[in-house]
Structure formats: C-alpha cells, structure tokens
Chains A and B, each alone.
Chain A
Amino acid sequence: MLIDTNKLQKDEQVFLEMQQLFQSKGYSLYKMRRFEEYSLYLENKKFLNGENVITFNDTHGKLMALKPDVTLSIVKNARTEDANQKVYYRESVYRFDPASSTFKEINQLGLEFIGAISLDDMGTICYLAEQALSVIDNKFVFAISHMGIVTGIIEAMGISLENRDDVIKAIKSRNYEQLKEIGIKNGTSEDVLKKIKGIFDASTEFKDSLKALKEASFNNDIKVAVEELEKVYESISKISKGNNIRLDFTIINDIAYYNGIIFQGFVSKLPRAILSGGRYDRLLEKFNKQKGAMGFALSLSDLAVYNPNV
C-alpha cells in the first residue's frame, strides 16, 4: 500500500520526505542514547545558551542528564581519523521553556557534516535546510548570514570585550540608534558608523543586502563574509530556485562556537524561527578536533499547527 504523505501528521511527513533527500545526498541516520553524562553540558554551557538540564543519578551514582542538545554528542563522538562524517538524526531533546517555566520535550530533525567542508557542501547543507522549510509551508523564508559580519562590525567599531554583548544585542534587535550610541561612547569613526547604517538601511533581499555589505567592507572579516555568502548563494541557486533566500545580518549565533555561514528558517504560521544552524568549527576546536563542522536542527514539535484536520 502506498502512503499518501499529505495525510500524515506534519512532523511525520517532513521526516519521511527529508529522510529520503538527506540519504540521496549521502547522509546516514545517527541514533543515540537518551542520556549523556552531565559534565558534557556543564563544560559547554554557553553552547546551550545556559540552558537548564534535567539531571539524575544512574545506578552507579554518576550524574547523568536527559540530553538538551544533539550536536554536542555527535561532536564528542566524532573520530578525527575518520573521513567526512555526514549524519542526520531525529531525536528528542529536553529544554527549559521560560514561557511556561517548565521543561519541554522537543523532537528535533537535524543534520551534521563534520570533516573537510567545501563551498559546495555548504551550499548543499543550505539547500537541504531550505527544502525542509518548503516541505512544511510554501510560504517560507531561508535567512542566511555570516559570523564575519558581526565580528567585522565589532572590530571596525573598536569595541572592547566587555561591551561586545551590547553591540550584539543592538544588531540582533536591528536597533541602529542603540549601536550608534555605543559607537560614539567608544570613539567609533563617523565613516564606519555611516557604513554600518548602510547595512541597516538595506532590505534583506539577498542582492540588496550584499551590496550594502560590499560597500561597507571595512575589514577582512566582512570581506571574507561577503565572498563566502556570494559563493554559497551561487551554489544554492544552482540546485534550487532560491526565491526565498534572504540575507539577514541580524541573525547571530554564539561567537565562541560559530564561525562562517549561519542561517535560520521561518514559516508563515510560526512566530519564531523553526530551523537554525551554521558553521561551528570552533566547537570542534574545544574538543581538540581540527575539522570543519556545519549543520542545522529543525523543531518537529512545533509543526502541529500544520497538521491536516482529522
């Protein structure tokens, strides 16, 4: 009997369709234990945004945790001597939800590439993320950015480490006035501020935004960002129509772990990003593994609003 995927619950439909696509691009299913030692999360608390973790003692008295994240486990277990590791997973993670002040089980579909990542590989990962969004809703936005933009702005503004978080906050909230105020206090030149304003003023249409970034190329970080974004966009455009791709510099992941391309996905029926990911070589460095890494995760639990009426 053939299954009509349109009649399935949305999370099942997305999983089945994406599983096929992931496998066709050489990714294989990764299954993991439900528990991890708590120390893994304690040592990488920042990667989890200071997330609370549910802990318990196992039968030998060891402190264990219900995993709040999958990427850390995959990275920890990645073997440096192996060739490229390309995996996808469907796992539950347990996180604290501030809105309801309780822990929530979130079912995630994700993909990770650990190894020597080429520009085309990056393009393919972005394409797969974009496809996952299109399976959920034809009204979607795949918003891409680069960590070099934020590090470039911080450097050009001459911001000290202690004021860095304020700059990131201002960029994340698209608040140019706030950023300018910080700049003036820190002696940022008028020319740099003017160029940054150009980035804020541009729309998120890929070409419009890229043009503003090119005009503002005040240092190497931004130049590298522009170059990579342009090449990855070309690479995605080769396989997808690319109509829903935007360049949004307000997307920022943690500087301590992420570098290079980062992205988020949005669908019309959900008020928050449903998908997020990017390049995170710095996390591997923390595990003393000299390899590239990139991936994304999508919350299947949030898809109930798309379920067909039963």
Chain B
Amino acid sequence: MINIALPKGRLGNKAYKLLEACGYTISELMDESRKLVFRNEESGVQYFLVKPTDVPVYVSYGVADLGVVGKDVLIESDADVYSLMDLGIGKCRMCVAAKEDYVEDKSRPIIVATKFPNIAREYYAKEDREIEVIKLYGSIELAPILGMSDVIVDIVETGTTLKENHLKVFEEIMPLSAQLIANKTNYKFKEKEIREVVAKLGEAIK
C-alpha cells in the first residue's frame, strides 16, 4: 500500500487527475466529500487530503510515503525529504513585488511582507541586502498599499491581483511548480512501489 498526501484544493485535484491516469484511482469523488482518507485496496493506494503546508510534515514523519507539494511550500518548510520529480502542474513564480512607483531606499533595511520568510531571507542574503520580515498569512498585497512594508515576496500566477492593486513585479526569485516528494526511510522500504509510481507519472506527464 502506497500512502500519498495530497494538498486540499486545486493543486490536489490536478495531482489526483495525474495519479488517476496512472491507475491509482479511488471510487469516491474527492472534492465532494468531507472525508480525509481515501483507500483503494485494488490499486494499492491510500490518499490523505491535508492542508498544503502540512504535506511536507506528513511525509517527513513517514505516515505518507509520497506527497504532492508546491515548490514554494517545500522550500519554505526545509523538510528533509526526497524531491523525486517535477509534476509540471501548478506553475507560477515566486516574485518580489511593490507599488508601481516604488524606489528602493538603500540607506536602510528593506521591509518585506511575506508568507515565505525563509525564501525571502535566503534571497536577500544572496543579494547581500539586510531585510526586516513581516510574516503574514494572507492578502499580502495589502502590506505595501497601507505602507506597512516596502515590498512583498509572494507567489504570482497571472499578475491580475497585483495589477488591480497598482503593484508590479520587480524581481523574479524562482519559477514554481508541484513536486512529488518522498519520505527517505519509506523510500528504502518501498522502493519498488515508489519507483513504479514515479515511472508511471513520468509517462503521464510526457
């Protein structure tokens, strides 16, 4: 039995579609149920639906052998897991954005509002720039509008939200997409099954 942690929501649904195409099906419709665990003895798979940021946790602790997680969440979590493949879904970018007329004041640290403090710190450390981080959990765009921060470090998909709020992208930090991750210990005990999942997914996303 392979245990897979999927993120609740759009990315999880897309990932399930890929896995379904590989034969790892379940009979119930996931998005219409309130259940959190779905199991199919025949296809030898069990899915857990969890909060996206919790996927690396379930995988690190080994209750899930595999997990599907955005690269943003994975890097931010710094989880010690295998990152076996890029699933090519949920593509977007991690960017630095600010008000359209923003000009950096180099005489003081930049105030950065973000859901991803680790990614922000690492990026600015490489730029040799001192920052102050304000950790937020949502509506990050509000911070520079209200003058709480100079910039934001956040995920940008289409850029519509930024545009509507008179913000724009100043730097792209990295491209993002969904990753298939694995627990390092479970990989050793279930290597054959996990390699089979990886091979089938590889075919499915070709």
**Bound-state Cα–Cα, A209 to B185, Å:** 18
Q: Check A203/B189 contact, CB under 8 A, given A174-B82, A271-B183.
A: no
- Annotate B69-97 by CB proximity to A: 1 below 8 A, 0 otherwise: 00000000000111111100000000000
A250 touches B183 (CB 8 A): no
Shortest distance in angstroms between B69's beta carbon and chain A's nearest beta carbon? 12
Question: Does A178 count as interface, using CB distance less than 8 angstroms?
Answer: yes
Q: Which of A172, A175, A204, A271 contacts B185 (CB 8 A)?
A: A271
Within 8 A of B (CB), among A263-281: 266, 268, 270-273
Q: Closest A residue to B182 by CB, please name it.
A: A174
**Bound-state Cα–Cα, A204 to B84, Å:** 14
**Bound-state Cα–Cα, A173 to B187, Å:** 12
Q: Check A175/B186 contact, CB under 8 A, given A203-B195, A271-B60, A271-B62.
A: no
**Bound-state Cα–Cα, A246 to B188, Å:** 9
Interface residues on A, range: 20 to 34
- Annotate B7-34 by CB proximity to A: 1 below 8 A, 0 otherwise: 0000000000000000000000000000
Question: Does A91 count as interface, using CB distance less than 8 angstroms?
Answer: no
Task: Note all chain B residues with C-beta closer than 8 A to A203.
Answer: 191-192, 195
Question: Does A191 count as interface, using CB distance less than 8 angstroms?
Answer: no
Q: Closest B residue to A143 by CB, please name it.
A: B188
Question: Does A112 count as interface, using CB distance less than 8 angstroms?
Answer: no
Q: Closest B residue to A205 by CB, please name it.
A: B191
Q: Closest B residue to A175 by CB, please name it.
A: B83
A266 touches B185 (CB 8 A): yes
Within 8 A of A (CB), among B134-192: 182-189, 191-192
Within 8 A of B (CB), among A146-187: 172-175, 177-178
B195 touches A178 (CB 8 A): no
Question: Does A69 count as interface, using CB distance less than 8 angstroms?
Answer: no
**Bound-state Cα–Cα, A246 to B83, Å:** 20
Not counting A204-B188, A271-B183, a sample of 11 additional A-B residue pairs whose C-beta atoms are within 8 angstroms of each other reads A141-B188, A143-B188, A172-B80, A174-B84, A177-B85, A246-B188, A266-B189, A270-B185, A271-B60, A271-B186, A272-B80
- A residues engaging B (CB < 8 A)? 139, 141, 143, 172-175, 177-178, 203-204, 246, 248, 250, 266, 268, 270-273
Enumerate the 8 nearest inter-chain pairs by beta-carbon distance, A residue then B residue, closest first: A271-B62, A174-B82, A175-B83, A141-B188, A173-B83, A266-B185, A271-B61, A271-B185
